[in-house]
Each structure stands twice: as C-alpha cells, then as structure tokens.
Chain A
Amino acid sequence: MMTPARRFAYSLAGLVALAAVPTLFPGYHTSLATEMLIFAVLAMSIDILAGYAGRTPLCHGAIFGVATYVVLYYVTVEQGNPWVAVGLGILAATLTAVVFALLAIRTSGVYFLLLTLALGMVVWGVCNRWTSVTGGENGLRGTVRPEWLADQADLYYFVLAATSAAALGMWRFVNSPFGLTLRGIRESEPRMRTLGYNVPLHLFIGFVVSGFFAGVAGALYAFFNSFVSPSTVALAQSVEGLLMAIVGGVGTLFGGLVGAFLIIALENVVSSWTERWSMVLGLMFVFTMIFAPEGVLGKVRAVLGRRARPIPPRNS
C-alpha cells in the first residue's frame, strides 16, 4: 500500500491536472472531459461490485439512466427545482438498486451476470414503451442545469467537485472494514459465512451503495446532456461502463477514471478517422485482455511495484 502522504500527493497532483483542463483545452474538449468524469463515476460504481465483491453487474447503465430520466422528468415536465430533482433522481436510482439487489444477490458468476442483464432490460423496456411518461423512443429533452452552471467551464468544475466527492466516498467505502468483508466474499464466500458474516446482507449493502453512486453519475449526466432516451438505459450503456472499469483495472477503483478517459478519448479520436471505429475499440479490448488483463492501472501498479520492491512483503 502507498503511504498516506504519497497518496495525498498523487491525488492532489491529479486534481490540479484535472482542474487545469478548461484553461488548457477550452471548448469541445472541456465538454468531453466533463463526460469522461461522469462516466468515471459510473465505472467506479461498477468496480465496487465487479472488483471488490466479485459480482459483475450488467444493469448499472439502467440504474444510471433511471436517475437521468427522473431528473429530466422532474425538471422539464413537472417544472421542479433542479436540486430537488437531483435528490429524487439519486433516490430513484438507489431504490432501483434495492429492488435489483434483492433479486440478484443470491446468485453469483454467470447467473448474476444474466439476472442483472435481464433486470436492466426491464428498465429499458419500460422506458421504451411507457411513452406518456418517458417520451418513448424520442426521450425527454430540456435544459435542467441552473443558470450559474450554464457555462461549460463552470459545469466542468461542478462535475469535477462532485466526482471528487463521489470518488472519495467510494474509496473510503471499499477501504473500510466493511469493504474488506466484500473482498473476503470475493475470495471465498463459504469461509466468510463460516466466520459468521451475513454474506447476502453484505452483498446487498454493497450493491445498493454501488447503485447510489451510479445514480449520482446519472444525475450529473442529466445536467450535462439535457436529454435522455432509452439508449441511455440500454444494455450498451451497462456494457460500456463495465468495459471502462475492466480496461482501467477491476479492483483498483481509480481504474474506472483511467478507463473512462481512455475509452471516451479513443471513441472520439478514432471515429473522426474511420467509420469502423467500433472495430478499433474492439481490438483495443482484445489487446488489453491479452497484455494487461489486470487493466491499465493494474498494470502500471504492478510495474511500479516491481521496480520499487523486488520482493513484495506478504504481510503488508
């Protein structure tokens, strides 16, 4: 583990670098960076389950999208206050996660994957068909963010602050004693049970917390995008979030940040060169899995760790 001083220095350096984005890259790149930060929160929330609890979910796009839908609905249709809308959006996402968790936590492995996939599809189906509320295929549109966030740079700083707070929260969560029990469940469920832990309850709480943060990301996305349609809750969204977590490195938490940056940047760079950009992305995933199955951040840590300490102490 890193010393607290070094960790603090790294985080500070990262924050300073991120804070400089609107000054160094104004315009489109700032909005791209905003999107990256939002998806980083989603990827990190997925990592809580995929990386720490050892349960790979395919429903977080849906949980994320529920928050986006609720925020947009409350502001554009009900003419409500945006901050109340954010609260309601996150609450709705958390409640969705509660329902999903109740149904899914008793399964593991590929069954967990499929069950969460099905639950996500239910949300997609509802958003697609419940035209009177969700606008169906056309979705909901309208500016939700308050006046003082209208400027791109201001929105970026706001999202950066929210992302930092969410990241800190998630980091505290996975490194808390409770987070350790999640890791214990990942390593060996029977052993944790024998030790007297209530495994389903722990997984349930882990799932709900992860859903809460996916909801935070979804609410931010409503501010950013001013638009939501069924494609936001579609399976592709869940998969993309999961891929971000995997490319960055599962079980590293901040890998989500790296993954989101890499994928969104690549999507934008490659798609301006060729219309076969999805193929390039696919190849990148394949190579990541072959050469760095632990993800980019995992690989970097492994390389750095090897250089700094030739013989890793077992009991650190």
Chain B
Amino acid sequence: MDRRTFIKNAGVAAIASTGPWYLKSGLTQSGPIRIGLLAPLTGVVASGGREIVEGFNLYWDRNGKKAGGREVQIIVEDDASNPDTALQKARRLVEQSKAHFLIGNLLANTGLAVAEYVKGNGVPYFIPVIAADDLTQRKRIPNVIRVAGYTASQMPRPLADYSFKKKGYRKIVTISQDYTFGHEQCGGFSQVFTELGGTIVAQHWHPLNTQDFSPYLAQIQGANPDAVFAMETGADATRLIQQWANFGLKGKIPLLGAQNTSDQSVIRTLGAEAEGILSSAHFAEGTDNPVTRKFVAEYERAYSKLPSLYGFSHYSGALWLAQALEAVKGNVEDRAKFLDAVRKTELTNSPLGATVKLDAYGNPVYDISIREVQKRPDGRFWNVPVASYPQVSQFWTYKPEEYLKQPPYSRTFQGIKKA
C-alpha cells in the first residue's frame, strides 16, 4: 500500500467511523444481498460440488437475480473438499466479501467446520446437503438451518420398513464407508430393521476411497443374507456397484442402497449394473409427478444431465431462501427476523410437488419414496418411485424427547435391538 492509498483509506475509515448518523440508515438496506456459496469444486467430491453450483444458479438464472426487492449477488468459493480450506473460505466470504449469509458445502466435516465458525459470529448458514444428525438434534446452532436438507438417519428408515414388511427380508448385511455419514445412515436402517424383528448379520466398515471390495464381497457371499444395505458416496459407490456385478452377486442377492448409493451422480456413469437397486429418498428424478417432471426437464435442458441430489437440494435451497427473503422484504441485515422467516417458510413451490416445512428441531419433513433404479426409454437410468411413506420426520415414529436420549449413531452404537 503506498502513501496515497493509505491516506485515502484512512480518510474513508475516519468518515465511516465518525458518520453513523447518515450512513447507518443508508447502509443497512442498500446494495445487493450477498450470498456466499461454498462448494467443493476441487478435491474428491468435485463433481458433486459442481452440481451444487449448477442447482443453486439454475433458480437465480431462471427467476432473475432479485429477491425481496433487492439485487442478489452470489459469490462462489471452492472449499477443496477440505475442512480447513472450507473454514478459511467461510472467513473470507464473511469478513472480506461481507456475505450476508452462507449456504452450501457437501462433506459433513466441511459443514461442521463452517458451522462451528458461524456459531461464534451469528452469520446465518444454510445446509441443504450436510446431513450430520446432531446439527438438528443434540447440538443445534440457532443460526444454522437445514433448508431443503435432510438428516442422514432420516432417509433409510422407510427402506428398512419396506424391506421387512413388503420384501420379507429377515437377514441383512450392511456395508458402508467408515465415517459419520455412514454410521448414521446404517444406524437409522439397522435400528428400524431390528426393532421390526429382522437381524443384522454383519456390518462391514471400509475406509473412504476403497479400490477393491472383493474381501467384503467374499464375506457377504459367505454370510448368505436376504439382502445387503450399501451406504456409499461418489467413486466408492460406482466401484461397489461395478464389483458387485463382476462378482456375480447381482441377481443373486438383492442390493439396497442409501439414497446416495444410487444417486443420479453415481448411476449416470454406470449401465445396467445399477438396475434394480432399491433406495429411499424424498427426491426421485423418475417420478411421474408433473411438478418434479418439469424441474427434471428444465435441469436436463440447462446442463444436459439428469439432476442429482446435490443439484436438486441446492435448487430447492435457493427457492426456500428466495421465499424467506420476500417475506422480510430483503432485509437480511436483521438476522433474527430473517432466520425466523426461513424457519417459518413453507415451501409450496418445491420441485417435489408437495409442501415442505421444518419440524420443531429445524429439519424438513418429507414424503419419502422407495425408489428403484430403472431404465428410461432413451437408455439412461433413473430412480423411479415404487412406494411412498408420507410425512417422515427425522424422528421416524419415535418421540423426539425419548429419541434424543439415546446416544448419536456411531460405529459402536447402531441402535440394534437384540432379539
């Protein structure tokens, strides 16, 4: 900084600090609403990260970058799939770019790092994909809201119910990536399945980025279960499904998946290997619901691919925020009011075709579909709903107060009921 700019800056700083009487009212409502969007554009989940940006932008591109009478400015930062980078970028968005609020992140550890940061300064932070249970259960942060998101254990529970009651499975093996997101999804599944009377024969935990699944597949074959529940994300999901078919298990043992295992981001690179996988989720790109159909068609037109969970969730997130911004007439500076509006928002125009709202703990309640991977006439594969569970909350059929007394799901606690 040379002397002249220093003097200029000092002058501006002096004016800014001495002149609140006319600047205060002027500054609070002027200028655009700055949204900080954090997404992993590099690193292990980069492809999902790009879909976050695509989904979020799709809304604003179609509806104009305006909400509540103010311009909307979206500042995208790359979290590099790394929590330390995510934290650094969140600081930069808030402290340098002066973002009014943050949204995004994909990996739970990046989201938890940012959540810890905003806990200290009260900046609103929205997490359509970060599914860590405790953010809307035991460790809630008032300014962290799961708009258009879900908790990890919420989604697989209907599938457990369906496998036991409709499919008649009694013995199931789970295989999952060994981290919290996996522990929580397997926990949700195993608890419901064993409480109904089923047995979890074995649980396999493998490190992220496993190249070779053959040791696990051999053990699964040996256990001879009625079905296998697989909780995999990204490249691990692709590899497991491929090796499952190569091993000759496809067609012999039914494969059930967490919603991310058969997410569009995974199966679009696969062929017939993925056909027939059952999973449960709030979003199914192959539904015949006209509202969802329209969204899927628009997304396909814009990016020439079917929307994945990441794109869908951030599109819905943008819808949600736009609606809340309208409600407060663009006054994001009043954080308390804005957060309140976000919590009270009932998303009537969700691409799900049904109204979505938050439960008392800040997690959306959804109609959850059991989905099957099927082939479209054009040869692409997608998830088609085959059954539906209305109004599933993060607590399933449990009483929230009682449910919260049990420890969070982990490798060692899976909620398995001993027969």
Chain A residues in contact with chain B, CB under 8 A?
A: 24, 27-29, 31, 35, 128-129, 131-132, 136-139, 141-143, 225-227, 229, 231-232, 268, 271-272, 275, 277-278
Contact = CB atoms under 8 A, between A and B. Distances in A.
Given A24-B6, A28-B91, A139 B96 contact: no
B270 interface: no
Given A31-B95, A225-B84, A232-B84, A24 B1 contact: yes
Given A225-B87, A227-B116, A231-B83, 18 more contacts: A28-B92, A31-B95, A129-B178, A129-B207, A136-B179, A136-B180, A137-B180, A138-B180, A139-B83, A139-B109, A139-B112, A141-B112, A141-B115, A268-B88, A271-B77, A272-B77, A272-B92, A278-B42
A27 B91 CA distance: 9
A232 B96 CA distance: 24
Contacts of B42: 275, 278
B109 A226 contact: no
A278 B94 CA distance: 23
A271 B112 CA distance: 22
Those 7 A-B pairs whose CB atoms lie nearest each other, nearest first: A28-B95, A28-B96, A137-B179, A141-B116, A275-B41, A229-B83, A27-B95
Contact of B113 (A129, A132, A229): A229
Contacts of B120: 143, 226
A250 to B, nearest CB: 25
Contacts, number: 76
A229 B84 contact: yes
Interface string B393-410: 000000000000000001
B87 A131 contact: no
Interface of B: 1, 6, 41-42, 77-78, 82-84, 87-89, 91-92, 94-96, 108-109, 112-113, 115-117, 120, 132, 178-180, 207-208, 410-412
Instruction: State the majority secondary structure of interface residues on A.
Output: helix
Contacts of B82: 231
Contacts of A232: 84
A141 B117 CA distance: 9
Given A27-B96, A29-B96, A229-B84, A138 B108 contact: yes
Given A24-B1, A35-B88, A268-B92, A226 B180 contact: no
Nearest to A29: B96
A191 B33 CA distance: 68
Q: Which of B77, B84, B178 has the most CB of A within 10 A?
A: B84
A226 B84 CA distance: 10
A109 B376 CA distance: 58
Contacts of A136: 178-180
Given A28-B92, A142-B116, A226-B117, A271 B87 contact: no
Contact of A141 (B96, B113, B411): B113
Nearest to A224: B87
Given A139-B109, A141-B112, A227 B83 contact: yes
Nearest to A152: B95
Nearest to A231: B82
Contacts of A226: 116-117, 120
A138 B87 contact: no
B74 to A, nearest CB: 14
A131 B411 contact: yes
Contacts of B83: 139, 227, 229, 231
A193 to B, nearest CB: 42
